[in-house]
Structure 1
Amino acid sequence: MVIATIVTLSIPNPGLSLPLSPGDRLKVSIPEGELFNGIYLVNIDGTLQIPYLPPIQVSGQELPQIEQVLSKTLIEKGLFNPRFLQVTIQPIEWAAVVVNVSGETFEPGRLLLNERSPEALARNTQASGDYPPGRFLTAAIREAGGVMPNADIKNIRLIRNGQETTIDLSGVLKGEEVQDIPLVAGDRIVVPDLKKIQPELVRPSQITIPGVRVFLSNLTQPASSNSGASVNKDATSFVYGSRLSHAVIAGNCAGGSTNNANRRALLVRTDRLTGSTLVIERPIEDLLRKPNDDAKNPFLMPDDGIACYDSKTTNLKGVADTLGTIFSPFSLLLNLFRK
Structure 2
Amino acid sequence: MRCTLLTLSAAALLGGCAAGHQPVNYAGAAWMPEQQYAATPGACSRAPTALPDIPTAHLSAPVGLLLAPGDRVRIEVLGDADRISGTYVIGDDGHLRLPSLGRIGAAGLSQADVEAQLRQMLVAQRLVQPLTNAVRFSVLESTGVSVAVSGAVFNPGTVRTGDRAPEDRVGQSEGAANGDANAARSVTTALRAAGGVRPDANIQQIGLVRQDRMMVIDLRPSHDGTATGDVLLAPGDRLIVPSTGCFDPYLVRPSLVTQPGIRVHMSNLTRPANNNAGAAIGERTGSLPYGTRFLQGLVAMNCVGGSAMNSGRRAVLISRNPMSGQSVVVEREVEELVRHANRDAFDPYLMPGDALACYDSRWMNLSDAIGMVTGAAGALTPAILLQDTVAN
TM-score normalised over the length of structure 1: 0.85
Instruction: Report what 2:70 is aligned to.
Output: 23
Identify the match of residue 193 of structure 2 among 143, 152, 170.
Answer: 143
Match of 2:112 in 1: 64
1:37 maps to a residue whose letter is S
1:56, 1:263 → 2: CA distance?
Answer: 69
- In structure 2, the CA distance between the partners of 1:81 and 1:330, relative to structure 1 (3 Å rule), is closer
Which whole-Å deviations, capped at 9, do the CAs of 1:230-281 have from their partners, x for residues lacking one?
2223432211111010111222222233332332111112457875422111
Counterpart of 1:105 in structure 2 is 153
Deviation of 1:18 (Å): 1.2
Q: CA deviation at 1:23?
A: 1.9
Cα offset, 1:191, TM superposition: 1.2
User: Distance in 1 between the 2:218 and 2:244 partners?
Assistant: 14
**Match for residue 288 of structure 1 among 325, 338, 351:** 338
2:269 to 213, 219, 233: 219
Cα deviation for residue 110 of structure 1 reads 0.9
Displacement of 1:326 in angstroms is 2.9
- CA displacement 1:118-149 (0-9 Å, x = unmatched): 56559823302433233111111111111111
Name the amino acid aligned to 2:122: L
Deviation at 1:81, TM superposition (A): 2.1
CA contact under 8 A between 1:31 and 1:86: conserved in structure 2?
yes
Q: Which amino acid aligns with 1:106?
A: F
Change (3 A) 1:57 1:32: same
**Tell me, which stretches of 5 or more residues in structure 2 are unaligned?**
1-55, 384-392
Q: 187, 191, 212: which one pairs with 2:237?
A: 187
Alignment of structure 1 residues 254-269 onto 2, 5 Å: 254-269=304-319
C-alpha deviation, 1:321, in angstroms = 1.7
236-245 or 49-58: which moved more?
Answer: 49-58
Distance in structure 1 (CA, Å) of the matches to 2:196 and 2:344: 20
Letter in 2 for 1:26: V
Unaligned regions of 5+ residues in structure 1, if any? Answer: 1-7, 334-339
CA contact (8 A) 1:12 1:19 kept: no
Matches within 5 A, 1:163-312: 163-270=213-320, 276-290=326-340, 296-312=346-362
Seen in structure 2, the aligned counterparts of structure 1 residues 331 and 10 have a Cα distance that, compared at 3 Å, is same
Structure-1 separation of matches of 2:365 and 2:88: 74
Q: Can you list the C-alpha shifts for 1:171-214, whole angstroms capped at 9, x where unaligned? A: 22232333311111111011111211122211112221111121
User: Once the two structures are aligned, what percentage of the paired residues are identical?
Assistant: 37
Q: Deviations over 1:47-103 (max 9, x none)?
A: 333333363332222112222222233223333222464321111221231111111
Q: Which residue matches 1:74?
A: 122
Specify whether residues 291 and 39 from structure 1 end up closer, same or farther in structure 2 by C-alpha distance, changes over 3 A only.
Answer: farther
Q: Once the 2 structures are TM-superposed, how far is the Cα of residue 20 of structure 1 from its aligned partner?
A: 0.4
1:34-45 mapped onto 2 (5 Å cutoff): 34=81, 35-45=83-93
Shift of 1:160: 0.6
Aligned-partner Cα distance in 1 for 2:358–2:136? 66
Native 8 Å contact 1:245 1:287 kept in 2: yes
- How far apart, in 2, do the equivalents of 1:231 and 1:291 lie? 28
Greater CA drift, 177-186 or 68-77: 68-77
**Equivalent residue pairs, number:** 326
1:32 aligns with 2:76: no
Residues 272, 150 of structure 1: CA spacing in aligned structure 2 closer, same or farther, 3 A cutoff?
Answer: closer
- Give the direction of change, closer, same or farther, for the CA distance of 1:180–1:290 in structure 2 (3 Å limit): farther
Is the Cα–Cα contact under 8 Å of residues 58 and 216 in structure 2 kept in the other structure? Answer: no
**SS of 2:196's equivalent?**
coil
Q: How many angstroms apart in 1 are the aligned matches of 2:246 and 2:345?
A: 13
Q: RMSD over aligned Cα, in angstroms?
A: 3.0
Other structure's SS at 1:134 match: coil
Question: 2:133 and 2:181 mapped to 1: Cα distance?
Answer: 28
Give 1:127's aligned residue: 176
User: TM-score, normalised to structure 2's length?
Assistant: 0.74
1:53 to 97, 101, 113: 101
Deviation string 1:282-329 (CA, Å, 9 cap, x unpaired) is 111232245765662111111211111122222112111222233356
Mapped pair 1:317 → 2:364: no
SS of match in other structure, 1:139? helix
